[in-house]
Amino acid sequence: MQLRDVVPDDVDAYVRMRCDPVMTADLGGPLPREGMADKVRRDAREAAADAAWIKMIVPDPDAPDVVAGTVTLWAHDSEDGPVSEIGWMVLPEFQGRGLAKRGARTLLERALDEDRWGVVHAFPATGNSASNGICRSLGFRFVAEREVTFAGRVLHSNHWAIDPRTDLAPA
């Protein structure tokens, strides 16, 4: 597996992940296809500027055009102030291979190496057992259940936090 920055050509992968009812069941349902190319362009600019780590998961480096999903670490303002957040999505045909966990671990290890991002938060849906399991296995601490907003939708989520300097579980 390798991670690479998102590029403007990744529109099809974004559409498969964000506009599909199965993929977005825990995220309030599919997003409209309109505007997805603009979203990818914005994300590619942020990744190129190193403002956010927006990575495409490539399961086989010998097939670089095959994308399994994304893992992203970014900072944003929340009702509690600035927060660093990590999230991931893996397409159904690649799920169950540990790609999201390896991708998240890679970004958390990089955050540790670069002493960047501080405490990192994750907000998987309460019913997303796979993502909540990834949080547990990587060493995130459960904070609380809470409502979060994603793409203008309010979701019931578990709030997890990890300080990569002290909490990251051994590989």
pLDDT band at 6 (very low <50, low <70, confident <90, very high): very high
pLDDT digits (tens, 9 = 90+) for 61-96: 999 889 999 999 999 988 778 999 999 999 999 999
Distance CA(36)–CA(129), nearest Å, equals 27
**DSSP secondary structure string for all residues of 3-61:** EEE--GGGHHHHHHHHS-TTTTGGGTSPPPSTTHHHHHHHHHHHHHTTSSEEEEEES-T
Which of 36, 54, 35, 34 minimizes the C-alpha distance to 44?
Answer: 54
| pLDDT recorded at residue 153 | 81
| pLDDT recorded at residue 18 | 93
What does the pLDDT average to over 23-29?
86
Distance CA(11)–CA(142), nearest Å, equals 33
Backbone angles phi, psi at 145, to 5 degrees: -80, 145
Backbone angles phi, psi at 65, to 5 degrees: -85, -10
Answer whether residue 34 shows pLDDT above 90: yes
Work out the number of other CB atoms within 10 angstroms of the CB of residue 10. 22
Where does residue 115 rank: exposed (0-12), middle (13-18), buried (19+ CB within 10 A)?
Answer: exposed
